[in-house]
Amino acid sequence: MNLSKPLRMVSRLLYSLFLQGRLHLQRQQCLAFVSHSDVRQTGIDPIFVINLDRQPDRWTAIYRELGHIMDAAGNPLSERAIRYSACDALTNPDELFGTADITPYYTLGDQLFVEPQPDAVPDAFDLERPIRMSDAEVAIARSHIDIWKTIATSDASYTLVLEDDVWFGHDFGQLVDQAWSEMKVANCARPAFDMLYLSYQEVRHGAPKEFVSKTVFRPERGLWYLSGYVLSKKGALLLLELLPCRGPVDLWINHMFREMDVRALRRSVISQRLDLSSTNSYSILPTLSRIGIIDGGNTALFQRRPTCSPVFAFGASGFRMSSLAMALLMLGYRCCSNFDRIPECELDSLLNGRTDRVFDAYVNIESLVPHASVVLHSVCCLNGCWRE
């Protein structure tokens, strides 16, 4: 789940120049990538890159990235890159459903298992109410699952899976080689993991983990992204046994950590590009907004208490008042909307200017219209939305 804010024009330009400038530096080498024909070595062989047919520029960019990293034999990693034509929710929506591999519903409880929110107190109804995956989330899950099926039937021991919007850190080769060496020592010459995260974002309050070596830890849960990971053949077989995927694939896989041997580098060495717009659509956002939280790398507006309240808004049918109510929720307001009346105790607190109210924003509450003159002196009205 990636909720990073898009860069502004100048920042985007500087960021793009930074990414391009890196490619003029000395190439790095990663010895963990070995030739499939070298039976004496155990390492990573093919690289699958998930790429939409309508975004060839991203394939060109990631191919260039891989060309700047050498394998154990001194050949660029781009030579072993295999483009996987991603399932496209926009151009092929009919291909999304009708498969037993994905159950397109999950719950807030599933989300909070991965990223607990200490300040949120959702009720049982919110926790268990089904949330339908977006078409984009289903397409992403299908793309990863199809690659797992390919890996499971291949003769490669380890495969790197990438999404096409990533770039590699300058110490990618050094850290991957160190981790690979530590795992070979611990597992008697052959790393025994099912899945190794090279790219991830920890949840805001930290992922519970156990360090198994200086460079590698075993997570219990709490890692977002599936933009760069090494999957073993036995790991691919196990993931297919654990299907169906229930919810967004990076969320669901956290629930499978207990069934798998999952490891991660001590820090992410593959990052998602900030100058590219995400094609994903996050189905969890309306639910997170309703309970006053949002996930991601940056502090959310939801966690900032509104400084101007109460807020009232009235509008005729078709005036997009429901959208306004959602916007107020996303700004951190406790909003009620489209009711005939509110409880007497709430109305009494409101009319007497007390702060012991349940809500601090009221959208299209019919019973408040007669009291407009009473509350105007203590209210912050939304320009253009107040109707008498």
In a domain, 243, yes or no: yes
Check residue 105 and report its DSSP letter.
E
Q: What is the reported pLDDT for 333?
A: 76
Asked if residue 344 and residue 241 are part of one domain, the reply reads no
For residue 367, give its domain range: 305-381
Q: How many domains are contained in the chain?
A: 2
Q: What is the reported pLDDT for 99?
A: 84
Q: What is the reported pLDDT for 378?
A: 52
Q: What is the reported pLDDT for 289?
A: 75
Task: Return phi, psi of residue 333, to 5°.
Answer: -80, 145
In a domain, 19, yes or no: yes
Asked if residue 225 and residue 316 are part of one domain, the reply reads no
How many other C-beta atoms lie within 10 A of the C-beta of residue 102? 22
Give 103's strand partners. Answer: 246
Do 229 and 195 form a contact (C-beta atoms < 8 A)? Answer: yes
User: Between β-strands 361-365 and 335-339, what pairing exists: parallel, antiparallel or unpaired?
Assistant: parallel
Query: Which residues of the chain fall short of a pLDDT of 50?
Result: 295-303, 380-388
| pLDDT tens per residue, range 217-272 | 999 999 999 999 999 999 999 999 999 999 999 999 999 999 999 999 999 999 99
Token pair 């030739």 is found at 35
Comparing CA positions, the residue from 261, 264, 265, 241 lying closest to residue 193 is 261
Asked if residue 183 and residue 60 are part of one domain, the reply reads yes
Asked if residue 232 and residue 177 are part of one domain, the reply reads yes
Contacts of 92 (CB under 8 A, 6+ apart): none
| pLDDT tens per residue, range 346-375 | 888 888 888 778 787 888 888 888 877 666
What length does the chain have? 388
Q: What is the reported pLDDT for 357?
A: 82
Assigned token pair, 69: 């990293």
SS3 content of the chain, % helix, strand, coil (to 5): 35, 20, 45
Asked if residue 139 and residue 58 are part of one domain, the reply reads yes
Q: Let me know the angle formed at the C-alpha of 39 by 34 and 43, rounded to the nearest 5 degrees.
A: 30
Asked if residue 98 and residue 200 are part of one domain, the reply reads yes
Q: What is the pTM of this model?
A: 0.75
85 Ramachandran zone, left/alpha/beta (phi>0; psi -120 to 50): beta
Contacts of 323 (CB under 8 A, 6+ apart): none
Q: What is the reported pLDDT for 8?
A: 66
Which residues in 54-103 belong to E strands, given as ranges? 69-70, 81-85, 102-103
